[in-house]
Chains A and B, each alone.
Chain A
Amino acid sequence: MPLLAFVLAVGLMLLIVIVVVYAERKVAAFMQDRVGPTEAGPHGTLQPLLDVLKLLQKEDIIPAAADKKLFAIAPIMIFAAVFAGFAVIPLAPTLVPAGIGIGVFYLLAIISLDVVGLLMAGWGSNNKYAMLGAMRSVAQIVSYEIPAGLAILSVVMICQSLDFQEISYQQGVLINYFPGLEYELNWLFGIEALGINTTYVGGFFTWNIFRAPVMLVAFVIYFIASLAECNRAPFDIPEAESELVAGFHVEYSGFRFATFFLAEYAMMVLVCLVAVILFLGSWNTPLPNFGPLALANLTTGNPGGITGIFWGAFWLISKTLVLLFLQLWARWTYPRLRVDQLMHLCWKVLTPAALAVVLVAGVWRLLMV
């Protein structure tokens, strides 16, 4: 089963990355009153695939003055760090590549390795733009890990678990299927005193943003911080093309550049998957059971069987694609922040707000038990 999940995760990641690269170009075009790629394949759908093929054929240039070892290993390091993060992402109720109990902690730790790779690329290129880009990137990612980490911490406090799969099970009608949660009940907003039992209603009523409404704030904080963590506009100062050419990957070409590109988009997919799992009900259906109209049960399927895997993957990927669209929308709407604005947002707005959310989440957890 872990092997199947691994193969699925690789295939899924590549597929979603291809879809997102295509969507990026089309969404950008539509928002700017253009039509985007139209020539390669029907409506230009083969464009990202052909772009990758083109990149793979290009010469792999290593600058004479570069630190060759660091230069060569950096893209692999970055991709490995991001891809390792996918190991703990549950795809469906019974499908997770590595269902370890401290998945959330592992994910935060392994994604931080990304920074090392960025610094290696920036330093190893021996180029002023790459160096500046890498420095900005590291400063930004390290800073934004704090509000993102605090937002995730508040989820962990509400769920009392570091296991992605357990957090997933808690947010839907399958809550009692998870070993150890057999007698757990979900209440509306997590408060038993309200007297509305949502254990068998499921749907979006049992998502974390509904189990503890303060999670909605945590979700917004996490989403903004995650944009900064994957160097997405409006937080793309590390690769600001108008000032730094391309930032840390300015010297890269061919296969190594393709690896950077893949890692960047895989990172986008990963942070969106994490947001969906932690806040938006993971692989659970958004449709609740209404009395005889058991929409939740219908769209959850048989938790051990093929229908369960199908519905789980379907809802997880759908919700992730919605968040990815939000990322694209933000990119093509907002101008890039200055360095001081970036730091202001992180340290004076998001971090205090995240601390407050952690406090409220702790109090909420006390009300839940």
Chain B
Amino acid sequence: MAVVKSLVSGARLTMRHFLKAGKRRSSEYVSDESYFDQKEGAVTLCYPYEALPVPDNGRYRLHNEIDDCIVCDLCAKICPVNCITIESVKATEEIGSTSDGTKKRLYAPVFDIDMAKCCYCGLCTTVCPTDCLTMTPVYDFSEVDIKNMVYHFTNLTPEQAEEKKQLFEKQQEEMAAAKAAALAARKKQG
């Protein structure tokens, strides 16, 4: 008899779940009052079609707002996995200012972040003086080719970068020439 009783209770259990299978969990965030009340129905998340809500300030993929970047290289220095590569070119004059008023004096012909290497520690965002490097709530960015995991944030084309470099070199030369001329003039005087 005990055998029959346990067989029946097992069968009732699975049937109960079978009959409730039409229900689905609604995707409430964990802070929602009803989060733990949803005990019935299928728990499967059909991912690309539906996703669990992430926090508004979720810290996943990095983003650099290049217009606000002063190319200080602090993020690249602190990165424990060296996933940020920055090259800088000095500008001939002040380029402008960031949204928080800091003066920009450097161009960034290369500002690459290799998201395949990133360990999501967030150190780079804490050291960023202008808060231009941030972590976004985007977490689904897998790629077929790993090369596409390197994100390029520069706003200069290679030609523009070359031009800026030459402008700076020319200015340096001019300054050097002016300096040399001034030196020669002083020598003559003296």
A residues in contact (CB < 8 Å) with B: 27, 29-35, 38, 329-330, 332-334
Complex CA distance for A358 and B46, rounded to whole angstroms: 53
Report A-chain residues with C-beta under 8 Å of the C-beta of B17.
Answer: 30-33
Whether the pair B18, A31 counts as a contact (CB closer than 8 A) is yes
Interface residues of B in 1-53 (CB under 8 A from A): 7, 10-11, 13-15, 17-18, 21, 24, 41-44, 46
**A30-B7 contact given A38-B46, A329-B14, CB 8 Å threshold:** no
**Residue A332 contacts which of B14, B24, B42, B44 (CB distance < 8 angstroms)?**
B14
Instruction: Pick 6 A–B contacts, CB within 8 A, sort by A.
Output: A27-B18, A30-B17, A30-B42, A31-B18, A35-B44, A333-B13
Whether the pair A35, B42 counts as a contact (CB closer than 8 A) is yes
Whether the pair B43, A33 counts as a contact (CB closer than 8 A) is yes
**Residue B10 contacts which of A27, A29, A38, A333 (CB distance < 8 angstroms)?**
A333
Complex CA distance for A357 and B142, rounded to whole angstroms: 65
Q: Using C-beta atoms within 8 Å of the partner chain, give the interface range for chain B.
A: 10 to 19
Complex CA distance for A329 and B46, rounded to whole angstroms: 25
**Residue B18 contacts which of A30, A35, A330 (CB distance < 8 angstroms)?**
A30
Closest chain A CB from B8 CB (angstroms): 10
Known pairs A30-B42, A33-B42, A35-B42 / 16 extra A-B pairs, C-beta < 8 Å: A27-B18, A29-B21, A30-B18, A31-B14, A31-B21, A33-B17, A33-B41, A33-B43, A33-B44, A35-B21, A35-B24, A329-B11, A332-B14, A333-B11, A333-B13, A333-B14
Report A-chain residues with C-beta under 8 Å of the C-beta of B24.
Answer: 35
Closest chain B CB from A242 CB (angstroms): 19
Report A-chain residues with C-beta under 8 Å of the C-beta of B7.
Answer: 334
Closest chain B CB from A76 CB (angstroms): 36
Report A-chain residues with C-beta under 8 Å of the C-beta of B11.
Answer: 329-330, 333
Complex CA distance for A30 and B13, rounded to whole angstroms: 12
Residue of A27, A35, A332 most packed against chain B (CB within 10 A): A35
Report B-chain residues with C-beta under 8 Å of the C-beta of A35.
Answer: 21, 24, 42, 44, 46
Nearest B residue to A345, CB-CB: B3
Complex CA distance for A82 and B35, rounded to whole angstroms: 51
Report B-chain residues with C-beta under 8 Å of the C-beta of A30.
Answer: 17-18, 21, 42
Complex CA distance for A31 and B15, rounded to whole angstroms: 7
B residues in contact (CB < 8 Å) with A: 7, 10-11, 13-15, 17-18, 21, 24, 41-44, 46
Nearest A residue to B21, CB-CB: A30
Report A-chain residues with C-beta under 8 Å of the C-beta of B18.
Answer: 27, 30-31, 329
Report A-chain residues with C-beta under 8 Å of the C-beta of B43.
Answer: 33-34
**Residue B42 contacts which of A27, A34, A329, A333 (CB distance < 8 angstroms)?**
A34
Report A-chain residues with C-beta under 8 Å of the C-beta of B46.
Answer: 35, 38
Closest 7 CB pairs of A and B: A30-B21, A333-B14, A31-B14, A35-B44, A30-B18, A35-B42, A34-B44
Nearest B residue to A30, CB-CB: B21
Complex CA distance for A330 and B44, rounded to whole angstroms: 23
Complex CA distance for A332 and B14, rounded to whole angstroms: 8
Closest chain B CB from A351 CB (angstroms): 17
Closest chain B CB from A221 CB (angstroms): 14
Closest chain A CB from B46 CB (angstroms): 6
Report A-chain residues with C-beta under 8 Å of the C-beta of B10.
Answer: 333-334
Nearest A residue to B24, CB-CB: A35
Nearest A residue to B9, CB-CB: A333
Complex CA distance for A221 and B14, rounded to whole angstroms: 22
Closest chain B CB from A181 CB (angstroms): 38
Nearest B residue to A330, CB-CB: B11
Nearest A residue to B23, CB-CB: A33
Residue of B14, B17, B42, B44 most packed against chain A (CB within 10 A): B14
Report A-chain residues with C-beta under 8 Å of the C-beta of B13.
Answer: 333
Whether the pair B41, A329 counts as a contact (CB closer than 8 A) is no
Report B-chain residues with C-beta under 8 Å of the C-beta of A332.
Answer: 14
Closest chain A CB from B26 CB (angstroms): 15
Complex CA distance for A33 and B38, rounded to whole angstroms: 12
Report B-chain residues with C-beta under 8 Å of the C-beta of A333.
Answer: 10-11, 13-14
Nearest A residue to B10, CB-CB: A333
Complex CA distance for A333 and B18, rounded to whole angstroms: 11
Nearest B residue to A38, CB-CB: B46
Report B-chain residues with C-beta under 8 Å of the C-beta of A31.
Answer: 14-15, 17-18, 21
Complex CA distance for A55 and B21, rounded to whole angstroms: 30
Closest chain A CB from B50 CB (angstroms): 11
Closest chain A CB from B21 CB (angstroms): 3
Complex CA distance for A31 and B21, rounded to whole angstroms: 7
Closest chain A CB from B181 CB (angstroms): 76
Complex CA distance for A329 and B21, rounded to whole angstroms: 14
Closest chain B CB from A33 CB (angstroms): 5
Nearest A residue to B42, CB-CB: A35
Nearest B residue to A34, CB-CB: B44
Complex CA distance for A27 and B14, rounded to whole angstroms: 10
Complex CA distance for A32 and B7, rounded to whole angstroms: 17
Complex CA distance for A118 and B21, rounded to whole angstroms: 37
Report B-chain residues with C-beta under 8 Å of the C-beta of A334.
Answer: 7, 10
